[in-house]
Structure 1
Amino acid sequence: MTRRALILIEGSRDNGPLYVQAAQRLGLHPITLSADPTQYNYLAAKGVQAIRVDTHNLAAMIHECSQLPATYDIAGITGFAAPDETAYARVARLCRHFDLPGPNPPSVDRCCDKFVQRQLLAEFGIPIPAYRLATDATEVESSAETIGLPVILKPAVGAGSSGVRLCRNVAELAEHTTYLLGGKHIWGSSQRILVEEFAQGPYYGANTMGSEVIAIGNAEFGPPPHFVFREYTFPAPLTEDEHQRIADVSLSCLRALGLGWGPANIEFRWTNHGPVVIEVNPRLPAGEAELVQLAYGIDLITEHIKLVIGEEWDLRARHSHTATKGMLLPDRDGILDWIDGDVRAAAVPGVREVKLHVEPKTQIVRKGDYQDSIGHVIASSSSRTQTEAILERAGNLISWSITPFTALSEPVETAASNLLAPAEVALGKR
């Protein structure tokens, strides 16, 4: 009997291992297609079959997948986005080519281009920040003047907060424009910048599957001007009315963009005018599936794979707990001398996972995106207060030392507890 395979396009530090494990539990053989499989450590560690191929080249991927039926029955195809959002659009086209279940390619395309996405949301009357599209420094400056500082500058196509920055004054606007257009930022597409109003207020994220809102969480960020998640919690502390308003707008987003198959993630700011949509992502966000499973008992990744391979899914909640992930965020660049306490932190009752992404002697170079995190702690319990206490206790046990590049003889020790504490209000919460 031919073995059934699940094709995974590229990988993910957070979700990648979970998709591999879930596929294997379902009796599938995971195969990763990647331009550079060595960048995903879990592939070698788990003995996952990997095929090196240019994943920007749809024809090349079709060719590789066409060779597999001689050995495997391709049960389904899915993949990951960060840092290349357009990769998920190619996943949709692969599914369409092989007549397999998958998202609608034009719908994914509309989401991947943040400018087009905002145009469609605006046409449907969905509340979004004011925005302009710019292709050079002059257009960025005039757009910011029209909208009014502070503004957010971000690539029109991208993921994982790569290249996203809050510009609070003219100097920061010019600095980040130079960064984006001056050759330092790696563009996956044409150099188009979205200049966006800074919608201020608490951050919420809704996870949907099909046309159903499954979970709504809230997050806090590290210090501006970047938007690196510092802490993420499910469920969000919302009233019944607030929850319903976010759910209603989420479903309106799916209709406006032609989504409704598989997972999606809608990011919000709750402003003085209510929920404002920051972004719609036509995929499962990295790092949230574990929290949803701990909080609700719903395994989004397993249920997504079931949909991908044409089986019936089960999205019923099985319990109601609180789950929080605290990121380990360094406050300086340099050489990591040592990091310690993860084993003790993992032994704290209520801690579900402690994961380190780095080893001693690693170079720490912060870029202001999702890759800045050097690890995380996940805690869960029956209440939000208890979960926060568990997370704080575990964070107190983790510390590290970084020797700055400019002062290699003066290592600086950092306690993780300082980095797991809730961020200040004001501009830090974006």
Structure 2
Amino acid sequence: MARRALILVEGHTRMGLQYVQAAQRLGLHPITLSSDPAQYDYLAAEGSEAIRVDTDNLDSLIRECSRLCAPHDIAGIIGFSRADESACVTAGKLCRHFDLPGPNPTAIERCCDKFAQRQLLAGAGVPVPAYRLAANAAEVETSAAEIGLPVIVKPAVGSGSCGVRLCRNVDELAEHTTYLLGGKHVWPSAPRILVEEFAQGPYYEADIMGNEVIAIGAAEFGPPPDFVFREFTFPAPLNDNEYKRIADVSLDCLRALDLGWGPTNIEFRWTKRGPVVIEVNPRLAGTPDPELVQLAYGVDLISEHIKLAIGDECDLHRRHSHTAAARILVPDHDGILDWISGDTRAAAVPGVAEVKFYVEPKTPVVRKGDYRDWIGHVIAASPSVARTEAIIQRAFDSIDWSITPFPTPGE
């Protein structure tokens, strides 16, 4: 009998291993199709099958999947998010071609264009910040003047807060526009910049599977003008009415964007007018969200996503209610990482679920102002908010590192 295979289009440096292991637990044979399988260390470490193929070429992927149909029964196909989230769209197209469960690729593609997403949400009456689209420096300047400083300036396509910056005055606006248009930012296509109102207030995110809101968490960023996450907590400290308002707006987003299959992550700011949608991501949120949802409620979003992709029934009911939190390790300056230690001590703190370092000693650390600044995390959970906060603080205090600044020119 042919083995049931799960096709993974590209991989993911922080969640790919979890998908591979979850697929194996479900009795599936995971096969990763990637333009460069070697970039995903976990594939070799797990001995997981990987095939080199141009994942930007749909015809090449169709041919490879057709070839794999002979020795395998392809049960499902899942695409991982990349810088432009194109693998998610491609996976949706492959699902349509092979008549497998999957998302609407047209809806995913529209949603990944933040300007198109804003238009659809605003047209459906969903609360969003004021926004403009700009293609050059003059249009950025005009858009910011119309909206009023401060503004958020970011690429219209992208993820992980790459290229996203708060511009509080005309100098910061000019500086960031030069960065985006001056060759330092990598664009997947012609530059398109979204300029939008800075919606101020606490940050929340909703994790959704299908049409069901599974969890709402809170997060905090480091200092502006960048948006680098520092801490996550599930569940968010919301009363019943606040939770319902965010959940209701989340479902309005799904309807407006023609989503509703598989995972969706929606980001909010709670402003004076209530929950305002910052972004809808037509995919599972990255680390540490899946781990926190599982610790807080006992719902394994990764396994349930795979079940959905292979046509099995999902089990999304909550098994318990704890408080789970993650603290991110972020350096405060650039340089060479001399050493990082304390992971064993931190992991030994009762209630700590995971301690992970992303970098090795002697690695250059160059901050980008986005998720790439992370050098590790600590995750903890307990039945109470206060207890979880105490656990994660104790564990975090056990970790230390040293970074030697790069020599300045002339030294």
Task: Using structure 2 for the length normalisation, give the TM-score.
Answer: 0.98
For residue 407 of structure 1, report the CA deviation from its aligned partner: 6.0
User: Are 1:82 and 1:160, in contact at CA under 8 Å, matched by a contact in 2?
Assistant: no
Contact 2:129 / 2:199 at 8 angstroms: preserved in 1? yes
Equivalent-residue separation in structure 1 for 2:45 and 2:222 (angstroms): 31
CA drift of 1:84 comes to 2.3
Is 1:240–2:231 an aligned residue pair? no
Deviations 1:291-338 (A, max 9, x none): 000000000110110010011110000000000011100111111111
What is the CA–CA distance in structure 2 between the aligned matches of 1:315 and 1:260, rounded to whole Å?
15
Question: Aligned to 2:303, what secondary structure does the other structure show?
Answer: helix
1:383 is displaced (CA, Å) by: 0.8
Determine the structure 2 residue equivalent to 1:158: 158
Q: Determine the structure 1 residue equivalent to 2:12.
A: 12
| Residues 157 and 189 in structure 1, CA contact (< 8 A), matched pair in contact too | no
Counterpart residue type for residue 173 of structure 2: L
- 1:418 match: none
CA offset digits 1:332-351 (Å, max 9, x no partner): 11111110000110111000
**Structure 2: distance between partners of 1:389 and 1:365:** 31
Aligned match of 1:427: none
3-state secondary structure, aligned to 1:352: strand
Question: Is 2:111 the counterpart of 1:120?
Answer: no
Contact preservation (8 Å) 2:79, 2:90 = no
Instruction: Name the CA distance, whole Å, in 2 between partners of 1:71 and 1:250.
Output: 41
Moved more, 132-141 or 220-229: 220-229
Amino acid at match of 2:126: I
Instruction: Give the counterpart letter for 2:210 in structure 1.
Output: G
What 5-or-longer segments of structure 1 have no aligned partner? 411-430
How far the C-alpha of 1:87 sits from its partner, in A, is 2.0
Task: Give the Cα–Cα distance (whole angstroms) in 1 for the partners of residues 189 and 285 of structure 2.
Answer: 21
State yes or no: 1:382 paired with 2:387. no
For 2:347, the aligned partner's letter is A
Taking the aligned partners of 1:66 and 1:124, their CA distance within structure 2 comes to 40
Number of the residue aligned with 1:305: 306
Once the two structures are aligned, what percentage of the paired residues are identical? 72
Matched, 1:275 2:271: no
Q: Is the 8 A contact 1:79 1:88 kept in 2?
A: yes
Map 1:9-408 to 2 at 5 A.
Answer: 9-287=9-287, 288-406=289-407
CA distance in 1, matches of 2:182, 2:293: 40
Query: Alignment partner of 1:348: what SS?
Result: coil
CA distance in 1, matches of 2:240, 2:254: 21
Aligned equivalents of 1:188, 1:298: Cα separation in 2 = 35
* Cα separation, 1, equivalents of 2:306 and 2:57: 24
Look up the SS of the partner of 1:55 in the other structure. Answer: coil
8 Å CA contact retained: 2:84, 2:112: no
Give, in whole Å, the separation in 2 of the partners of 1:45 and 1:332: 32
How much does 1:198 deviate? 0.5
Secondary structure at 1:70 match in 2: coil
Aligned pairs, number: 409
Task: Give 1:74 shift.
Answer: 0.8
| One-letter identity of the residue aligned with 2:154 | K
- The unaligned stretches of length 5 or more in structure 2 are none
CA distance in 1, matches of 2:188, 2:85: 9
CA RMSD for the aligned pairs? 1.2
